Structure 1
């Protein structure tokens, strides 16, 4: 089922020295970290802290990822990182994400991630709580389905 969020989400972050290679360009894997943080902040902004979800027996784990690199980010750049849900299933979410340079809106990297909802003890799939599904959809409850 496709998810339709009501408003765009963007997380601001800065490129630090530790994020770059010797040439001052962001090391490719660090874009994945920026996108992970944006997904976490997306959930937090909806009222769902991952630490609280974990204490309730629920974890989100990355099932698959894909990234395309368009232009480099550099030391001290301010970045805007989106985290939009493309698709919601009973026990997974598919995110489309972009990393853009704030000062000129240049697309630097984009990614797609499938994030699975699992039990903390067994790491087996579990259904997302209805309140989370509702918050992510922005449209009201979705019927369960994979």
Structure 2
């Protein structure tokens, strides 16, 4: 079974079981965003995590096996048709060059790791409507020439 097919089954089973992503992450004792990404095929899961998730969701062993495979990451052009994902890409298109310059100014010549990395999402109340707060927390990796 492909990771994409496994992800589709996970999405359907989550809704069918009436579970939130947070409830699944809690059952796995794992970070919310990383767990959700793993269940959507973007990170490998340990055998124990995959088996626990599939038991919770009522999914077969083939799904657990797919969730343990190392993903081949690429940007699927279909993703950019989703309004939320498009807004993230738009934000990076607008602010990415500025963030790069500011990282270089503050840290020197290097990049932010997306491997030694944490991401979190939160809601912040605001009088004009609630705010979405996304935090990227990546280790700075200096270029070593």
Instruction: Give the TM interval when normalised to the shorter protein.
Output: under 0.3
Structure having the higher Rg: 2
Which structure is higher in RCO with an 8 Å CA cutoff and minimum separation 6?
Answer: 1
Higher helix share: 2
- Give the structure-2-normalised TM-score: 0.25
Higher strand share: 1
